[in-house]
Structure 1
Amino acid sequence: MKALLLAGGLGTRLRPLTENIPKPMAPIANRPWLEHLIVHLRDQGVNEFVIAAHHCSEVIRRYFEDGKRWNVKITYALEPFPLGTAGAIKNAERWLKERFLVFNADIVHLPQLIPLLDFHRQHGGLATIVLTEVDDPSSYGVVEQDDRGQILRFVEKPRREEAPSNRINAGMYIFEPDVMRYIPAEREVSIERETFPLLIEKNVGVYGIVSTGYWRDMGTPARYRQVHWDALSREFPIPLKGREIQPGVFVGENVEIGSGVLFVPPVLIGDHVKIGPQAVIGPNAVIGDRCQIGARVHCAQTIVWDRSVIRDRSRLQNSIFGYRTVTPAGEVFEDSIINQFKEAVQA
């Protein structure tokens, strides 16, 4: 089975963190989200990936290369300009000659594929849209279905009281290759506003099925932080690296912990981290690999990416620090997003 991972967006809502990396490469629990997704799909039998990339595409290519390190095959479909969801699919047509999966790679969801594929095979149409249910669908693409699951209408971001259901596009699709006939080439094409309405009009069989489990769009700083807090609370049961040294505190390899350090769970500490004396870490703190945390630092509700240096007596609250950030001693950071590093992340 082959999967197309859509990773070409600009990630504007998550800037400045995404100025020099694609949004799917932002770390979740100290590992790029795209890596979590590839490993999850590999473990369910997907062994070939096409990654559609545009913004900072070299970051993805340098990190994953041809995929051998993960025992998969990875090919890259580079977009000459932003092509939209359907345009990116059309741009990868040469590699998608059989039934294939598509994932919006900035959506945090780890679906179970077998029931979704079984549903697709049984209905016999060209397309399956994987759905999730939300309390307020007004910010999403909403579907109306018949009793067999066939999609009758696709409504983009309706007012809450006018939404035909609370089932929204979850950002995952299963397609037959004939779907390419309905997507124009070499221009930007919206799958929600152009392709799906056309497929429904042509009655080629567009069906929807709800995928259960954790789902979140990580496209804003608040949502990005929430994914981490859900991972730490285990509401989102993503694998966490490290050993649990006390309830809710996970620590990686070769971590140096100074005297008098207080961990307030939940906390995740990466590998090769140094934490100075009398620091207070947590609640809801994620420290990346090879970070240095100074003496008497207070760090709560905060995510610190790899190789950052937080100097003595700094106070971090409800903030995100990008790769290799260096803070001055004694500074207070509250509701801050800092990105100082201008080079690509390396595997």
Structure 2
Amino acid sequence: MKNWKDILIAPETTILQAMKLIDETTMQFAAVVDNTMHLLGTVTDGDIRRGILKGLSLDTPIREVMNNVPICELEGKKASYYKQFMIKRKLKQLPIILQDNILHSVLFSDELEHAIKKENKVVLMVGGLGTRLRPLTEKIPKPMLNVGDKPILETIIESFKNFGFTNFILSVNYKKEMIMDYFQDGSHLGVNVEYIVETKKLGTAGALSLLPEKLSEPFFVMNGDILTKINFEQLLNFHNDTDSVATMCVREYEYQVPYGVIETDNHKLLSIVEKPLHKSFVNAGIYVLNPNSLDRIPKDQFFDMPELYKILMQEKEMVSAFPLREYWLDIGQVDDYEKANLDYNGGAL
């Protein structure tokens, strides 16, 4: 484990001394502080090289080349927040400060990733035929279609991984070899991947009856054609905090009636509302389930997720809805696929 105190230097430290420290610690980074631990700046190998190119001597104080407005964050936030912050800004190190700019610690991206890993499984349903996306899916399964420079499924896996979820089970069927050959055991992506092979259509919940082992923690289930910016850690926390057996992500759907809607009392006309706008919550295809919910799923039979939720509600179990306010797109048709690529190129993803 890296010791962030090893990379602390004073502003009077020479460029040569800072170079030696950066090389010896192999962290490619140093934090410049005064004798009261106030953060004055940061220095990278690149900062030093740019100083040398400007003609500065190796005896020059490091304060002449340091970044005196470093990117930093306040102490006290969750590890997943810091990781997302670092990913967004492409940082390998992040100084953490107290309110008065006193350096509290330094986070490193590789250690942070290891620290927030969670054991909860993620089951991704990726066996569909993708009929509505033909001809795009005639030779390639929908989850393997590229959005930007990578398959949809890889983006989904990376989204979970960013919040520490690295254990995946892929339920495959249509053109399964292409998916299994690409992802294999997931090690090249820094995750663990297992597979359920559906020999027939089992629906959005039926494949869960084929899980290879008894689960001990709440787990995610998600359709493999959804792109979203949801915070999966927040979703899991909500599920646990509400003592839910099952949680369904829902999103608001608006539709406008293209006619004037009337209200009557027998033959008497009471009101006319012209082209009213209606709002409803709809299923977003992302779920969190407790392991005991699996007992309600019939073995190796077609069974959709809404049926499972209906059974749980009939049994008076705690079943919750988690409203999405983040980006969400179900890539069901060619127009959706085109929108996903536009969103990717526009920075929404």
Give the structure-1-normalised TM-score: 0.58
Kindly provide the amino acid, as one letter, of the partner of residue 136 in structure 2.
L
Instruction: Tell me: CA distance 1:187–1:136, structure 2 relative to 1, closer, same or farther (3 Å).
Output: same
Q: Which residue of 2 aligns with 1:187?
A: 301
The answer to whether the 8 Å contact 1:2/1:100 transfers is: yes
The answer to whether the 8 Å contact 1:137/1:167 transfers is: no
The alignment's C-alpha RMSD in Å is 2.1
Q: What stretches of structure 1 of length at least 5 have no aligned partner? A: 139-159, 239-347
Kindly provide the amino acid, as one letter, of the partner of residue 220 in structure 1.
Q
Measure, in 2, the Cα distance between the counterparts of 1:136 and 1:62: 42
Q: Which residue of 1 aligns with 2:332?
A: 219
Which of the pair is proportionally richer in helix?
2
Q: Which residue of 2 aligns with 1:41?
A: 160
Q: Which residue of 2 aligns with 1:11?
A: 130
Q: Which residue of 1 aligns with 2:283?
A: 169
> 1:49 Cα shift?
0.3
Q: Which residue of 2 aligns with 1:153?
A: none
After the TM superposition, which of the residue ranges 109-118 and 216-225 deviates more from structure 2? 109-118
Instruction: Tell me: CA distance 1:54–1:122, structure 2 relative to 1, closer, same or farther (3 Å).
Output: same
Aligned length: 213
Residues 135-166 of structure 1: per-residue CA shift (max 9 Å, x gap): 2399xxxxxxxxxxxxxxxxxxxxx9998x52
Q: Which residue of 2 aligns with 1:200?
A: 313
Measure, in 2, the Cα distance between the counterparts of 1:177 and 1:59: 30
Measure, in 2, the Cα distance between the counterparts of 1:108 and 1:137: 25
Q: What stretches of structure 2 of length at least 5 have no aligned partner? A: 1-119, 258-274
Q: Which residue of 2 aligns with 1:81?
A: 200
Instruction: Tell me: CA distance 1:84–1:166, structure 2 relative to 1, closer, same or farther (3 Å).
Output: same
Instruction: Tell me: CA distance 1:18–1:83, structure 2 relative to 1, closer, same or farther (3 Å).
Output: same
Residues 261-293 of structure 1: per-residue CA shift (max 9 Å, x gap): xxxxxxxxxxxxxxxxxxxxxxxxxxxxxxxxx
Measure, in 2, the Cα distance between the counterparts of 1:229 and 1:31: 14
2:239 is equivalent to residue 120 of structure 1: yes
> 1:30 Cα shift?
2.1
Q: Secondary structure at the match of 1:58?
A: helix
Kindly provide the amino acid, as one letter, of the partner of residue 296 in structure 2.
Y
Instruction: Tell me: CA distance 1:230–1:82, structure 2 relative to 1, closer, same or farther (3 Å).
Output: same
> 1:17 Cα shift?
1.2
Measure, in 2, the Cα distance between the counterparts of 1:125 and 1:218: 29
Q: 1:53 aligns with which of 168, 172, 192?
A: 172
2:147 is equivalent to residue 28 of structure 1: yes
The answer to whether the 8 Å contact 2:256/2:277 transfers is: no
> 1:95 Cα shift?
5.6
Measure, in 1, the Cα distance between the counterparts of 2:171 and 2:287: 15
Q: Which residue of 2 aligns with 1:292?
A: none
Q: Secondary structure at the match of 2:343?
A: helix
Q: Which residue of 2 aligns with 1:230?
A: 343
> 1:226 Cα shift?
1.1
The answer to whether the 8 Å contact 1:108/1:215 transfers is: yes
Aligned counterparts, 1:294-333, within 5 A = none
The answer to whether the 8 Å contact 2:209/2:298 transfers is: yes
Measure, in 2, the Cα distance between the counterparts of 1:22 and 1:180: 27
The answer to whether the 8 Å contact 1:135/1:166 transfers is: yes
Measure, in 2, the Cα distance between the counterparts of 1:102 and 1:19: 26
Residues 167-213 of structure 1: per-residue CA shift (max 9 Å, x gap): 11111111100001111111111112x21111111111110011221
Measure, in 1, the Cα distance between the counterparts of 2:180 and 2:212: 20
Measure, in 2, the Cα distance between the counterparts of 1:3 and 1:137: 36
Larger Rg: 2
Measure, in 2, the Cα distance between the counterparts of 1:40 and 1:231: 14
The answer to whether the 8 Å contact 2:132/2:332 transfers is: yes
Instruction: Tell me: CA distance 1:162–1:6, structure 2 relative to 1, closer, same or farther (3 Å).
Output: farther
> 1:32 Cα shift?
0.1
Measure, in 1, the Cα distance between the counterparts of 2:208 and 2:137: 23
Instruction: Tell me: CA distance 1:97–1:77, structure 2 relative to 1, closer, same or farther (3 Å).
Output: farther
Q: Which residue of 1 aligns with 2:292?
A: 178
Measure, in 1, the Cα distance between the counterparts of 2:150 and 2:182: 12
Instruction: Tell me: CA distance 1:30–1:137, structure 2 relative to 1, closer, same or farther (3 Å).
Output: farther
Kindly provide the amino acid, as one letter, of the partner of residue 104 in structure 1.
N
Q: Which residue of 2 aligns with 1:134?
A: 253
> 1:54 Cα shift?
0.5
> 1:109 Cα shift?
1.3
The answer to whether the 8 Å contact 2:254/2:277 transfers is: no
Q: Secondary structure at the match of 1:94?
A: coil
Q: Secondary structure at the match of 1:166?
A: strand
2:175 is equivalent to residue 62 of structure 1: no
Measure, in 2, the Cα distance between the counterparts of 1:226 and 1:166: 23
Q: Secondary structure at the match of 2:150?
A: coil
The answer to whether the 8 Å contact 1:50/1:74 transfers is: yes
Q: Which residue of 1 aligns with 2:209?
A: 90
The answer to whether the 8 Å contact 2:256/2:276 transfers is: no
